[in-house]
Amino acid sequence: MAFGSLARSAARSLIGGLSAAAAWSAAAALTALWPDRPESDWAYTSDFAVICGALAVALALAAFAGVRFAVLQRLQRLSPWLLALALFLAAWEAVTAKLGMLPLPFFPPPQAIVEVVIDDWERLAAGIFASARLLASGYFLGAAAGFAIGVAIGWSRLAGYWIHPVLRFIGPLPATAWLPLAFFVFPSSFSASIFLIALATGFPVTVLTWSGVAGVSSTYYDVARTLGANQRFLVLKVAIPAAMPHVFVGLFMGLGNSFAVLVVAEMLGVKAGLGWYLQWAQGWAAYANMYAALLIMAFLCSGLITLLFRLRDRLLAWQRGLVRW
């Protein structure tokens, strides 16, 4: 019985892997054998075909190896997605480069994006680096300040009295509304953007840290107090750990906000980064560059959120039923 189910899962993994490989070879064949429309001059058609073909070979190998190595059978979960992705790329290739059904330059074929990544990688890499530097500076500043302010408001009545009205008044204002002011108050557009990103990150972090600290059950404090805890212990070892689930919701929301402000700040002020690249590409009607930058941004933003959730899962392993990402 156990052997039967094992063999069955191996067979299913093999079939799934091979059908994904077949779909990618089909995409490769379609790209390579069906000539592009006569008037077009896509330089990387064969490269795109080679990439699809290489992926097909890799998938087939993984599928066969999966019969021996159970670890690789986990790839089976991905098979349907990989298959769908290959079909999507093949369809995209067909309606753009092969049939020319979609208007140019707005809808370039996949090989145009490959071309951008290969030919313009230096500029893209510089953009990624600039964006990452700006985002990291602003996000960490905002998160740290938001956390500290949130704990202060949640803990101290005096801090709450003075900071809460300011927070209520200024917090809901979108950080981008400060843009014109920030760009002439700050010495450089870079520092202005850091301020804006920090602001956008800080507000949700502050509010959620505060509500987390304020919501800590008073019996937790009673327990610690009867065991001889001082104020410092109550803040650091009771209030903050108990508030961490809320803090992470704030960090998550702040991260989303910071992406939005980053792109706007780069488009309007900082002449560097992926946001600026997007704007620049659009100005030159270089839509393939824009799609490439968008794809990269999607990967990076999603990657950062994943990273944050991983960190949370590690730190909050004591919680049950965490939201999966």
Partner 1 sequence: MVAVPTPTESADPENGDLARGTTLTIHDLSHHFQLHGQPLRVLDRISFRVGRGEFVALLGPSGCGKSTLLRLVAGLDFPSTGSLLTDGKPVEGPNPSRVVVFQDPTLYPWRTVWGNVALGPEARGLLHTHRERIKDALRLVGLEGFANAYPHQLSGGMSQRAALARALVNDPMLLILDEPLGQLDSLTRITMQSELVSLWQRAGFTALLVTHDVEEALFLAGRVIVLSERPAHIKAEILNALPYPRHRGDPHLVELRHEVFSHLGLDANW
Report if residue 235 touches partner 1, rule: CB under 8 A: no
Residue 282: CB minimum distance to partner 1, A? 48
Largest CA distance in the chain: 84
Report if residue 249 touches partner 1, rule: CB under 8 A: no
Report if residue 229 touches partner 1, rule: CB under 8 A: yes
Task: Pick between residue 19 and residue 211 the one whose CB is nearest to partner 1.
Answer: 211
The C-alpha atoms of residue 60 and residue 39 are separated, in whole angstroms, by 36
Measure Cα distances from 37 to 29, 40, 94, 97 in Å: 16, 6, 10, 6
Report if residue 217 touches partner 1, rule: CB under 8 A: yes
Report if residue 231 touches partner 1, rule: CB under 8 A: no
Report if residue 227 touches partner 1, rule: CB under 8 A: yes
For the four alpha carbons of 88, 91, 95 and 98, in that order, the dihedral sign comes to positive
With CB under 8 A as the contact rule, which of the stretches 14-22, 101-109, 166-174, 217-225 interacts with partner 1?
217-225
With CB under 8 A as the contact rule, which of the stretches 80-88, 96-104, 183-191, 228-236 interacts with partner 1?
228-236
* Residue 34: how many other CB atoms lie within 10 Å: 13
DSSP secondary structure string, 226-286?
A: HTT--HHHIIIIIIHHHHHHHHHHHHHHHHHHHHHHHHHHHHHT-S-HHHHHHHHHHHTT-
Q: Which two tokens stand for residue 161?
A: 């009295």
Task: Pick between residue 306 and residue 319 the one whose CB is nearest to partner 1.
Answer: 319
Task: Pick between residue 5 and residue 230 the one whose CB is nearest to partner 1.
Answer: 230
Report if residue 119 touches partner 1, rule: CB under 8 A: no
Q: Which residues bind to partner 1, rule: CB under 8 A?
A: 217, 219-220, 222-230, 233, 237-238, 241-242, 244, 316-320
